[in-house]
Amino acid sequence: MFQNNLEFAKRCDAEDTVADFRNDFHIPKDASGNELIYLCGNSLGLQPKITAQYIQNELKDWATLGVEGHVEGDHPWLPYHEFLAQNMAQLVGAKPNEVVVMNTLTTNLHLMMVSFYQPTKTKFKIIVESDAFPSDKYAVESQLKFHGFDPKEGLLLWKPRKGEELCRFEDLEELMTQEGDSVALIMIGSTNYYSGQSFPLKKITELGHKYGCMVGFDLAHGVGNIQPNLHETGPDFAVWCSYKYLNSGPGSLGGCFVHERHANNTNLKRFTGWWGHNKQTRFNMRHEFDALPGAEGWQLSNPPILSMAAIRASLDTFERAGFENLRKKTVKLTGYLEFLIDAMNDDRINIITPRNPEERGCQLSIQVKQANKEVHTRLTASGVISDWREPDVIRVAPAPLYNSFEDVFRFSEKLKQVLQ
């Protein structure tokens, strides 16, 4: 199927139905003006060329309308988050009233745990994957402490087996068999930042609910990468950032999902702010808090419009490309990268990401045995932007919106040169 030569890579690009979207992005260049091989969309996505205009439009409205920009202009600021709901919902497989763009990822995670982590003396433990992103682990540990529990007792880790890199679902089942009656929350990163493994979200959700647990997911490495189908999958909540595969800019706003079965549950504990209050009386200023139904009811403050403009630019790009088309390209693109790495026949190289395309997204995590960061430093000097994670892994994420098959082929050639 695949061939290890540049001509084949170029032929794949010529047949790629979404190849032209690469022209819609700014590709970083070296000092000589040559495009770098950018394979780091799992850390920071590239900037769509339309982003500047989307932001400039809001700056123009601010300059010419002042405060009236909240209700006038092409995209009034007062309902601005609503302009993102439909496209964001499509990306995560939810209903528009189940999603909202607000805050940043870990802030949203804490807000969700206020509502969905309600421990008792006997049912208080939280399960995360053992190599969860550090911020997730810090957040759940702090929640345990806040409620008076020792994280050493209250935090349970879903671990790979000895000598393995990936988590097995049957081991989570076994952990729940042993601890399920004491578990209040399962909070898993949908796609692991280190290994690139995408977890079976529906099976995890059903397992948690079977034991009366709340279930939430961190989609930081999932949104815009895999299709989590959140409404059908059925977790109680999910959170994500937007600056990785969603290309919204460094530190941009995050997103939040609350399943519609909780949409009108005013008995749920929550931290509140005025932007989550009934829109009809929000500006009266003297009403008791009246939560908006759905995910909007968890909003705190009026949003930063310039960040939302960048998100709208990216979501419009995704909408034009079609996520199904991008997902098909991801499968082929990572399959080609896998083929090229295997073709090196180098015993030092091991792909720790699952081989099954249904268990991964864009990212392949390449283990370089008995190596240190110097390997990555040389790779960077050769014109490749990728990511190093201790102790010995290079994370490579060809994003289908702007990466090409030629990018992948040239990366493999440079990696061979570095290893030699």
Per-residue model confidence as pLDDT tens digits over 354-396: 999 999 999 999 999 888 889 999 999 999 999 999 889 999 9
- The token duo for 295 is 């995910």
One-letter identity of residue 46: L
Q: Confidence band (pLDDT; 50, 70, 90) for 97?
A: very high
Q: So what's the architecture of 6-35+322-419 in CATH?
A: Alpha-Beta Complex (3.90)
CB atoms within 10 A of CB 279: 13
DSSP states of 323-363: HHHHHHHHHHHHHHHHHHHHTT--TTEEE-S-SSGGGB-S-
Q: So what's the architecture of 105-240 in CATH?
A: 3-Layer(aba) Sandwich (3.40)
Domain 48-95+261-321 shares a fold with domain 105-240: yes
**Mean pLDDT across the chain, nearest whole number?**
97
Name the one residue in this structure whose structure tokens are 């979404």: 18
Mean pLDDT computed over 281-286: 90
Q: Confidence band (pLDDT; 50, 70, 90) for 420?
A: confident
pTM of this structure: 0.96
pLDDT of residue 285: 85
Mean pLDDT computed over 55-76: 96
- Burial of residue 51 (CB within 10 Å: 0-12, 13-18, 19+) is buried
If residue 136 lies in a helix (H) or strand (E), which one and from where to where? helix 134-146
* Contact present, 220 and 192 (Cβ < 8 Å): no
> What residues does each domain of the chain span?
6-35+322-419, 48-95+261-321, 105-240
Nearest partner of 291 among 307, 271, 311, judged by Cα: 271
Residue 296: phi, psi to the nearest 5?
A: -55, -30
Mean pLDDT computed over 39-48: 98
Mean pLDDT computed over 147-171: 97
For the segment 201-234, what is each residue's pLDDT rounded down to a tens digit?
999 999 999 999 999 999 999 999 999 999 999 9
pLDDT of residue 372: 84
**Rounded-to-integer distance, Cα 293 and Cα 266, Å:** 9
For the segment 233-255, what is each residue's pLDDT rounded down to a tens digit?
999 999 999 999 999 999 999 99
* Contact present, 256 and 294 (Cβ < 8 Å): no
Q: Is the dihedral of CA 295, 299, 305, 306 positive or negative?
A: negative
**Cis-peptide, bond into residue 28, ω within 30° of zero:** no
Determine how β-strand 183-189 pairs with β-strand 214-218. parallel
For the segment 164-177, what is each residue's pLDDT rounded down to a tens digit?
999 999 999 999 99
pLDDT of residue 370: 82
- Burial of residue 403 (CB within 10 Å: 0-12, 13-18, 19+) is buried
- Burial of residue 290 (CB within 10 Å: 0-12, 13-18, 19+) is middle
Q: So what's the architecture of 48-95+261-321 in CATH?
A: 3-Layer(aba) Sandwich (3.40)
Mean pLDDT computed over 35-56: 98
- The token duo for 320 is 């034009």
pLDDT of residue 109: 98
Q: Confidence band (pLDDT; 50, 70, 90) for 266?
A: confident
Is the pLDDT at 190 greater than 90, yes or no? yes
pLDDT of residue 110: 98
For the segment 315-337, what is each residue's pLDDT rounded down to a tens digit?
999 999 999 999 999 999 999 99
